[in-house]
Structure formats: structure tokens, C-alpha cells
Amino acid sequence: MLLRFHQLTPVFAAEVRGLDLRQPISAEISSEIEAAMNEYGVLVFRQQNLDEDQQLVFTRWFGPLDRGFAKVRNSAQHRFKSHHLADISNVDFNGDVAPVGSPKRVGSLANQLWHSDSSFQRPSAKFSLLTAHVIPSWGGNTEFADMRAAYDALPDKTKTEMENLVAEHWALHSRTVLLGDGTYTEEQRNAIPAVQWPLVRVHPASLRKSLFIGAHAHAIEGMTVPEARILLGELLEHATQPRFVYVHEWTVGDLVMWDNRSTLHRGRRYDLGERRELRRSTPGEAASDAAAAE
């Protein structure tokens, strides 16, 4: 089977046509999809309507499942059959829309910051796969930014400046920005220790250079905190210009798959009093690929 890819922006992202993900795929199809991910960074599969098992079966083709931020929560309560499905919603364990001020609602707000999934651990996430099950009446789009194109467009002087810089990524930085430092217990704060990544990584498959920044990056080795955060903020402002961004407007049943090593993403505002339910599965990056990216 030859898949068809329709590019969605001048620089990245493509819609995949000719594939029903509810049916088993082959190693050949998996390889085609992986090659397309290396090229486009984001792939859109329209109206697939996958159940939990079907989503995880498809995800496992691309690497071992990663729980990411769920390690911080360390809760036995879960709405899905598998803890490897992340509940990207404003719905609590009982199935009700989370009230104002609840941790679940704050998590929904944190997803509206530009970030890369699991950049706060080593190895980081490889791909993420997000499916839409309930969408609100307005808003709630997901935006993706191409960090390869953003890097390519930087002035040569800036590229030279960043050549050997190393950033520190911490799982709770984005949450403490919104909530303050006293929100989490010491056990939660230490559940995923901060890790260091080069500010510029080399994609292990395409060999393209890419910025590795986002809401989890909070420090740069050898810089004061203010200097580091100004630089990180300027890079983020540059990298998320409209010319580097694809905006996905969800329809129920869509699956969107992206490469966390070469893109950032964020959810957009919607009425948090309305139900919005998406499910994310995440294959982790191989340790050898993580090492090759440095």
C-alpha cells in the first residue's frame, strides 16, 4: 500500500490519506509513517475513531510506551483501561467537568503553554499521538511549531552563540509558573529530576538541527536565571511565528501524531465549563537516538 501525503503548510505537517487505523498495519506501513514523520514532523489522520486498544496497538509500532508527567501524579485513579493513555481533558475521574481551581483544570491550562512532551526526562518522548473524542463548541484547537524551520531562520550569529549551550528542563516548571512553588510535595517535585539537553539538537533520522525549548526549559548552564529566561523567551517568540505554525482544528475521531524532537505544541483557549476530551499515547525515544541528538 502506498500512502498519500498532502502537505498542510509551506514548511511542515501533512495529512495522511488512504489508511484506516482501526485495521492492523504492517511493518512496511509503519516504516512509511516513520519516514513521513521524519520529513513532516506532524501527521494528521482524519476521523479514525479509535478506541483505547486500537490507539495503543498503533502507538506501539513506534516505540515503548511512556507515561511522562503521569509519574508525578502517582495516582491509582484513572479513567482509562491503561495508564499509558494520558487524559488530555477538563474531566475529572468521575466523568464530570472539573470545577474552577481543581488540579485537573489547572493541568488543562498548562497544556496551553508551548511545550514538547517529556522534554523533562531522558530519553525524552519520541512521538505523541492525540485522538479527539469530545470537542467544545469553540476554541480548543492545537497548534504545532516547527523547530527545524525556526532554527534554520535564525541569524548566523545567534546560531553560533547557541552552539554549545545546554538547557535544563524540569517537569514542574510550567506548573509552578501558573501555581507557585508551594503546590507540590517534595516527593512529587523529586519524582522526575531535572535533565539537561543541548539547546540545539540534531534529529537522529533526518540529521536536521532543531531548537529544543519550551515551557519545561527553565535554565541554561553558565547563565544567570534572568539571562537564560530572556534568551529562552526570545527564542520561543521567534520559533512560534505564524510562518512556522500549523493550527489543527479538531473534528471528533481525528488522530494527530507529532515528533517531540522537532516540534512544539500547545492547546488553545476554550470554555473550560464545556467538556473537551482527548487521549494521548506517547512512544519514548531510544537511548541511542537521544545520545545521537547531542
DSSP codes, the chain: ---EEEE-SSSS-EEEES--TTS---HHHHHHHHHHHHHHSEEEE-S----HHHHHHHHGGGS-B--TTHHHH--S--SSS-TTSEEEESB-TTSSBPPTT-HHHHHHHHTTS-B-TTTTSSS-B-EEEEEEEE--SS---EEEEEHHHHHHTS-HHHHHHHTT-EEEE-TTHHHHHHH-TTSS-HHHHHHS--EEEESEEE-TTT--EEE--STTEEEETTS-HHHHHHHHHHHHHHHTSGGGEEEE---TT-EEEEETTTEEEEE----TTS--EEEEE-BBPPHHHHHHT-
pLDDT tens digit sequence for 243-267: 999 999 999 999 999 999 999 999 9
Question: What pLDDT is recorded for position 85?
Answer: 94
Reported confidence tier of residue 168, pLDDT bands at 50, 70, 90: very high
**Domain parsing of the chain, residue ranges:** 4-292
Helix (H/G/I), strand (E/B), else coil: 22: coil
Question: What pLDDT is recorded for position 83?
Answer: 87
Question: What pLDDT is recorded for position 138?
Answer: 97
d(CA 155, CA 134): 42
Q: Which of 249, 20, 284 is nearest to 129 (CA)?
A: 284
Residue 115 sits at φ, ψ, to 5 deg, of -155, 170
Is the pLDDT at 181 greater than 70, yes or no?
A: no
Reported confidence tier of residue 239, pLDDT bands at 50, 70, 90: very high
Superfamily of segment(s) 4-292: Clavaminate synthase-like (3.60.130.10)
- Read off the pLDDT of each residue in 32-44 and give the average, rounded to a whole number: 97
Kindly give, in sequence order, each residue whose CB lies less than 8 Å from that of residue 209, ignoring residues fewer than 6 positions away.
Answer: 148, 151, 152, 200, 201, 202, 203
Helix (H/G/I), strand (E/B), else coil: 99: coil
Q: Say how far residue 148 (Cα) sits from the centre of its chain.
A: 15
- Read off the pLDDT of each residue in 133-145 and give the average, rounded to a whole number: 97
The rounded mean pLDDT for the chain is 91
Question: What pLDDT is recorded for position 75?
Answer: 54
Q: Looking at 11-15, 41-45, 184-188, 264-268, which range is the least confident one? A: 184-188
Q: What percent of the chain has pLDDT over 70?
A: 91
- Read off the pLDDT of each residue in 2-27 and give the average, rounded to a whole number: 95
Is the pLDDT at 289 greater than 80, yes or no?
A: no
Reported confidence tier of residue 175, pLDDT bands at 50, 70, 90: confident
Q: Tell me which H or E stretch contains 89.
A: strand 86-89
Q: Say how far residue 178 (Cα) sits from the centre of its chain.
A: 19
All three cell numbers of 41 = 514532523
Is the pLDDT at 230 greater than 70, yes or no?
A: yes
pLDDT tens digit sequence for 68-111: 666 555 555 678 888 899 999 999 888 899 998 787 887 788 89
Q: How far apart are the first and last CA of the chain?
A: 35
Query: Quick check: 233 and 220 in contact, CB under 8 A?
Result: no
Question: What pLDDT is recorded for position 73?
Answer: 55
